[in-house]
């Protein structure tokens, strides 16, 4: 019997609500995942729907796996075959029905890096940069290809294409022609090699369902009940696909999310999706989850007040039964170094008082803001890790071996070119270029060109490599994927290749790859094709968030979404940084700040500083006032040495604007050339005097600083 006693009234209402469309607005920390998984368990246990007819959509593979585990813990021996991301669901739909779009169902998928390699290859092949267009870079071309695809633009309609390009500030005819050439060749190579990119998964599925009523009805009948997690992150094409697979008679759809946490507009998230959903399906029931189980009352007070400044939102005010907690702490430094020094000192004090490094996260609006924090953490020997770096499946050695696996079941050109000379086989760029031209001229695919003889390229080595792939395919036939990969490594001498480059440490990553495949093989029947389909959909967060080790976590607010920490430092909270100077969407920026604040469970520190050299920062963020000074306490810097045993370098009880004790009542006539002593920065030389301020040059790592000349941290030691 499903136990609902641990749910509050609104959670229980959402779980047990009747059939039909339901919108659950779940505030930060209100038990969204618990409600969603318990709802699925409730539907199954009460025999309301067959598990095979339930579709649950998430935004990461990690979230999908967690959902499966949670549901299985609630209802034993339940097999949920349709839980996954939009991309993974679309992949499965296309694997069944893409032939209705005159495409082969044995297609492969290329990722961002492979896309960029393909674009650069096109640039080189057609001399785009030098002879055709020198202004559109490959990254910009990929962005425009995405716009063309999603906009369903006819690439041969010059007027239509030019109008679209104008919105991207591309008005020169040569540039429009260049984009048409790049797009046409990009698509040709995808089709020739039977490949789809990530956008194609959505675009082809959308077209398939839009154009074919019979197929649309098939999928509507397949899914009796649909649940969507993180609904606020859904983009327009995903929303359109969702609408087409909803059973139009019963409209059994259950969407969960928080419009106040919609922070992916730059990635296509549809800002008004909750509003449009309720307008298009007016009979939908609304449930609001507003009891927060994460944060203290004081953190929520500031967070609620900030987000209340956004207009036209579904109003909710997070409440909690947690303790009142400390006020939000606010620090304003004279420089980035001061800000970093404050953060590191505070961390030392928190750890001295019982916190662990792993309890603490430092969040920032943009990646470049990690630098000053890293400097201070390194100086003070504080362990840290930056999240959002290179993913496991993006490491070179892993991508090489995945490329070999792809060639075992297909002959896509991207994978082929990646490893055609890895390990080195004497097949260089000149040979590849000649084969490219021959392939484009004759229509023969690149792989089959390798088997040609008496050509004007290094055809003997190409023949040898072609035979290697053919032999490998025979060798691994009917072998488990893990054994097939071991055989590939052995027969291609990939291990020896790593040793020759003094990269034997990469073997640990390869071992991890093989072990991960073995784990998959243990739990399911696995083929190379199904394995490649699964890993092609792994997201940035699929490898993240193993926070068991003891270090400070540094990340952007976007990476932190979905996480929580006992203690959070939100740094760089200055105008033109948060929000950035280039941003005009203050509602979105306010939501980002709200997400950052609601990551904190017990303590929240907001910091900013003067002296951001290239950002044009103009004092504290405009959002600081909106958080409410009554919800904050300002920490004042007293510049005692970090080696002080008692670490009493600030008084957290002081009230805002009580600055009197920070300065000496003295009036020393400093002059350029004076040597001073500072309690933190050591000895320095005065390089400029202007009214109440000194410019002082200190030794590395501190450098040039501007200080109040009567501050008690300063002492003149030589005139």
- φ and ψ at 148, to 5 degrees? -60, -45
| Residue of 114, 230, 589, 674 with catalytic role | 230
Contact in structure between 489 and 496 (CB atoms under 8 Å): no
Determine how β-strand 253-257 pairs with β-strand 225-228. Answer: parallel
| Residue of 12, 16, 33, 425 with catalytic role | 33
DSSP 104-154: -TT-EEE-HHHHHHHHHHHHHHTTIIIII-SS--HHHHHHHHHHHHHTT--
Q: Which of 259, 281, 261 is nearest to 272 (CA)?
A: 259
Q: Which of 365, 80, 388 is nearest to 223 (CA)?
A: 80
33 is catalytic: yes
What span, in angstroms and rounded, lies between the C-alpha atoms of 383 and 136?
42
599 is catalytic: yes
| Residue of 599, 601, 705, 709 with catalytic role | 599
Which runs of E-coded beta strand occur in 546-671?
552-556, 565-570, 600-609, 632-635
What span, in angstroms and rounded, lies between the C-alpha atoms of 241 and 235?
10
Chain-centre distance for alpha carbon 616: 26
What span, in angstroms and rounded, lies between the C-alpha atoms of 210 and 198?
19
238 is catalytic: no
475 is catalytic: no
Q: Which of 595, 584, 523, 520 is nearest to 556 (CA)?
A: 595
Q: Which of 361, 319, 397 is nearest to 544 (CA)?
A: 361
Q: Which of 199, 185, 204, 183 is nearest to 104 (CA)?
A: 204
| Residue of 32, 68, 506, 590 with catalytic role | 32
Mapping DSSP onto H, E and C, the string for 684-710 reads: EEEEEEECCEEEEEECCCCCEEEEECC
What span, in angstroms and rounded, lies between the C-alpha atoms of 93 and 107?
13
| Residue of 85, 261, 431, 607 with catalytic role | 261
Chain-centre distance for alpha carbon 304: 25
The set of catalytic residues is 32-33, 229-230, 261, 599
């Amino acid at each position: 019997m499903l136990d609902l006693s641990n749910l509050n009234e609104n959670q229980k209402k959402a779980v047990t609500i009747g059939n039909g469309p339901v919108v659950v607005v779940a505030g930060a920390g209100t038990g969204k995942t618990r409600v969603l998984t318990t709802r699925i368990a409730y539907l199954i246990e009460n025999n309301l729907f067959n598990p095979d007819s339930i579709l649950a959509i998430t935004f990461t593979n990690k979230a999908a796996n967690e959902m499966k585990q949670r549901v299985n813990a609630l209802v034993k021996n339940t097999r949920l075959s349709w839980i996954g991301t939009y991309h993974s669901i679309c992949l499965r739909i296309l694997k069944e029905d893409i032939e209705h779009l005159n495409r082969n169902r044995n297609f492969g998928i290329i990722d961002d890096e492979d896309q960029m390699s393909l674009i650069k290859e096109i640039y080189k092949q057609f001399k785009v940069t030098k002879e055709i267009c020198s202004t559109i870079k490959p990254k910009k071309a990929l962005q425009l290809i995405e716009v063309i695809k999603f906009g369903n633009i006819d690439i041969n309609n010059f007027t239509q294409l030019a109008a679209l390009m104008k919105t991207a500030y591309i008005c020169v005819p040569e540039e429009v022609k260049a984009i048409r050439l790049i797009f046409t060749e990009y698509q040709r190579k995808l089709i020739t090699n039977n490949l789809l990119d990530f956008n194609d998964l959505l675009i082809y599925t959308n077209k398939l369902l839009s154009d074919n009523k019979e197929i649309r009805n098939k999928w509507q009948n397949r899914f009796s009940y649909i649940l969507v997690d993180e609904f606020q992150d859904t983009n327009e094409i995903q929303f359109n696909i969702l609408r087409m697979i909803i059973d139009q008679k019963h409209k059994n759809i259950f969407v969960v999310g928080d419009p106040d946490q919609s922070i992916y507009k730059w990635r296509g998230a549809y800002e008004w999706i909750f509003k449009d959903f309720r307008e298009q399906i007016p009979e939908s029931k609304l449930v609001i989850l507003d009891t927060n189980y994460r944060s203290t009352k004081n953190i929520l007070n500031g967070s609620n007040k900030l987000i209340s400044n956004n207009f036209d939102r579904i109003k909710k005010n997070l409440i909690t039964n947690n303790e009142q907690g400390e006020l939000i702490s606010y620090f304003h430094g004279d420089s980035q170094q001061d800000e970093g020094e404050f953060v590191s000192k505070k961390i030392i004090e928190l750890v001295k008082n019982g916190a662990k490094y792993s309890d603490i996260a430092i969040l920032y609006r943009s990646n470049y803001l990690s630098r000053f924090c890293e400097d201070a953490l390194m100086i003070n020997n504080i362990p840290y890790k930056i999240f959002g770096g290179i993913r496991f499946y993006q490491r070179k050695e892993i991508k090489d071996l995945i490329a070999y696996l792809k060639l075992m079941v297909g002959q896509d050109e991207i994978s082929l070119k990646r490893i055609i000379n890895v390990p080195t086989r004497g097949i260089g760029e000149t040979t590849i270029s000649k084969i490219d031209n021959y392939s484009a001229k004759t229509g023969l695919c690149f792989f089959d060109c390798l088997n040609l003889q008496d050509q004007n390229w290094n055809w003997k080595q190409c023949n040898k490599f072609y035979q290697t792939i053919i032999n490998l395919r025979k060798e691994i036939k009917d072998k488990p994927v893990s054994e097939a990969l071991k055989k590939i490594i052995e027969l291609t001498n990939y291990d020896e290749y790593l040793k020759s480059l003094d990269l034997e440490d990469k073997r640990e990553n390869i071992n991890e790859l093989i072990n991960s495949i073995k784990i998959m093989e243990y739990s399911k029947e696995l083929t190379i094709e199904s394995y490649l389909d699964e890993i092609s959909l792994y997201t940035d967060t699929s490898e993240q968030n193993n926070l068991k080790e003891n270090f400070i976590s540094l990340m952007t607010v976007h990476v932190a979404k979905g996480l929580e920490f006992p203690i959070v430092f939100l740094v760089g909270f200055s105008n033109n940084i948060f929000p950035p100077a280039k941003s005009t969407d203050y509602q979105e920026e306010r939501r980002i700040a709200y997400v950052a604040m609601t990551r904190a469970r017990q303590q929240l520190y907001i910091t900013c500083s003067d002296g951001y050299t290239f950002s044009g920062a103009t004092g504290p963020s405009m959002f600081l006032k909106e958080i409410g000074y009554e919800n904050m306490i300002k920490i004042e810097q007293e510049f005692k040495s970090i080696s002080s045993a008692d670490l009493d370098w600030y008084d957290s009880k002081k009230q805002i604007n009580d600055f009197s004790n920070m300065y000496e009542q003295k009036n020393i006539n400093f002059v350029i050339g004076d040597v001073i002593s500072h309690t933190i920065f050591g000895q320095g030389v005065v390089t400029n005097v202007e009214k109440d301020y000194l410019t002082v040059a200190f030794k590395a790592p501190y450098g040039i600083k501007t200080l109040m000349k009567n501050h008690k941290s300063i002492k003149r030691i030589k005139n």
